[in-house]
Amino acid sequence: MRTANLQLFRVVCVLFLWYRGHLIGAFGGFGATTTTAPGSSFSFSAPTNTGGLFASTQNKGFGFSSGLSTGAATGTGFGTALGTGLNFGGFNVQPQQQQGGLFGQPGQAPSQSNQLINTASALSAPTLLGDERDAILAKWNQLQAFWGTGKGYFNNNIAPVDFTQENPFCRFKAVGYSCIPGSKDEDGLVVLALNKKEEDVRSQQQQLVESLHKVLGGNQTLTVNIEGVKALPDDQTEVIIYVVERSPNGTSKRIAASSLFGFVEQVNVKTQLQQLGVVMSVTRNELSPAQLKQLLQNPPAGVDPIIWEQAKVDNPDPDRLIPVPMVGFKELLRRLKIQDQMTKQHQTRVDIISNDISELQKNQATTVAKIAQYKRKLMALSHRVLQVLIKQEIQRKSGYAIQVDEEHLRVQLDTIQSELNAPTHLLVESHCLILIGLISIPSSHHHNEKRIIFGFFAPVHQIWNLSALKPEVRSILIQ
C-alpha cells in the first residue's frame, strides 16, 4: 500500500511539473493566428488577422473601446476575440492542433462539435490512467478550467483539451458596457493607436500627416486628414484619420472606412505604420438593427445565458450602450485604466466649466454695477431736463395771468393741504408729501429767489420729481 501511494505521489508530481510548464507558456499568448485577404479600393489584398485572447494581432471589427494593449483580437476592440459572423457574438474557438497523448501515443485532434464533450470528459471522467489517479487528474483539470489556462488530458488516444479563458467553466468573467459606435462606413474614419504621448503627437501632427501620405503611396489625388487626437493610458495616443480622394473633374469624396482599413492592414503597410509608432488600427462603424439584434440574442461563448440576459436588463442606456464580456484580469485592468482616464478627463472638463462660471459671475457683477451707474446718470439727466423745462415755462409765462387750468390745480392742491392739516390723515399726508415733494438742486445765483410755479410760491431751484410719484398722484398732476 505504501508503494502504491509513493507511485501515485510520483505521478502527481510529474503531472504537476509537466502542467506547470504549460501554465507558464500559456500566459505568453493564446491561440494561433489565421489570415484572410479581402480586396480594397487601393487594389491591394488586405490581410485580416484573428486570434486568441492576448495574441499580438490587429483588431478588426466595431472597435468599441480605445484599445490600449499592443495587441487585440478581432471583435469589439476589448482584447477578446468575439464570435463569428458579426465578429462580436461570441468568443472564437481556436482549432486544435494534432498532439500526442501523455505517454507519446499519437492523438486525434477533436472537431469543434466534440469540443464540449471532450471538455466534460476531462473535467468529470478522464480515462488516462485507468485507476483512482484519474479522479485526481479530473480535479486538476477542473482547477485549470476554472483558472482558464492549461491543457486537460483525459484519454491517451485523444488530443488534450486546451483550457482558455473563453471556456464555459472559467470563473474570471464579467459583463460590462460600451458605447455603440455611431460613425458610418462612408465617413471613412479609421483609428490608429500610437505608442507616443499626446503632446508629442500634437507637436508633430503635420509630420505624421506627411508620413501617412507616403505610406499611402504618395498619390497626389489623396489627402490625409486628422479628425481628432486623444490621449490613452500607458502613454499612448489615439489618432482618428480619414482620406479624401479628389477626382480629375474636381469633385472629392472620402475613402470608405472598410477600404482604408483593409489597405492599412496589409503586411507591408502595417510594417511601415509600425515604424511610425502605430501599434493598432481599428474601424468604428455603426451596427445595423439586424446586427444589433443578432448580437444581443446570442450570448458570447463561455458566458452564461442567464448572466447575459441580466446584463441586458441592467443596461443603463440600451439606446447608446451595449453589453460586452470581460474575460481575465488583463481585460479588467485595461478597462479600469480607461475608466480612470475618462474620469480625469471629465474632472478636467468640470474644472474648465467651473472657471467659466466664475468668470461669468464676475462679469455679471461688473454689468450690474454699470447698470446701476447708468440708472443714476439717467436719473440725473431726467432731473436736469425737468429743471430746464420748469425754467423755460417760467420764462414763457412771465407777465401772464394765472390760467384756468392752473387755478384748477391750485384748488386741488389747497384741498390736499387742508387734508394734510387733519391729524387723522397720515396715509393721505404721506402721499401728498410725495406729490408736493421737491428735489432741491442748490443754485448759487438763485438760492433765495422764489416764483410762482404751477400756482405755487416756491424756490426756483426746486423741481418736481415726477418719476417718484405714485400713478394716482401722477394722474392728478397730468389732469
- Mean pLDDT of residues grouped by 10 in the chain (479 residues)? 48 46 37 37 39 35 34 35 34 38 41 75 87 90 89 88 83 87 88 91 91 88 90 88 89 90 90 90 87 88 85 91 88 89 92 96 96 96 93 85 86 87 61 49 43 44 48 53
Following CA atoms 234, 200, 226, 45 in sequence, which dihedral angle do they give, to the nearest 10 degrees?
A: -60
Residue 6 burial (10 A CB sphere; 0-12, 13-18, 19+)? exposed
Pull the grid cell for residue 290.
439586424
CB 240 within 8 Å of CB 283: no
Residues of the chain within CATH 3.30.70.3310 domain(s) are 175-336
What end-to-end distance do the CA atoms of the chain give, in Å? 130
Find, among 102, 119, 94, the residue nearest to 157 by Cα: 102
Q: How far apart are CA 334 and CA 339, in angstroms?
A: 9
Biggest distance spanned by C-alpha atoms of the chain: 147
Pick the CATH number of 175-336 from 3.40.50.11260, 3.30.70.3310, 3.40.50.10470, 3.40.50.1370: 3.30.70.3310
- Sign of the alpha-carbon torsion through 442, 448, 454, 457: positive
Tallying the residues shown for the chain, one arrives at 479
Question: pLDDT value at position 366?
Answer: 96
Q: How far apart are CA 195 and CA 228, in angstroms?
A: 16
Following CA atoms 73, 76, 78, 81 in sequence, which dihedral angle do they give, to the nearest 10 degrees?
A: -40
Pull the grid cell for residue 446.
438763485
Residue 25 phi/psi, 5-degree rounding, is -70, -25
Q: How far apart are CA 188 and CA 365, in angstroms?
A: 48
Q: Which residues, listed in sequence order, are joined to residue 453 by a DSSP beta bridge? A: 456
Q: How far apart are CA 398 and CA 226, in angstroms?
A: 83
Question: pLDDT value at position 398?
Answer: 83
Helix (H, G, I), strand (E, B) or coil at 262: helix
Pull the grid cell for residue 314.
441592467
CB 39 within 8 Å of CB 46: yes
Pull the grid cell for residue 106.
499519437
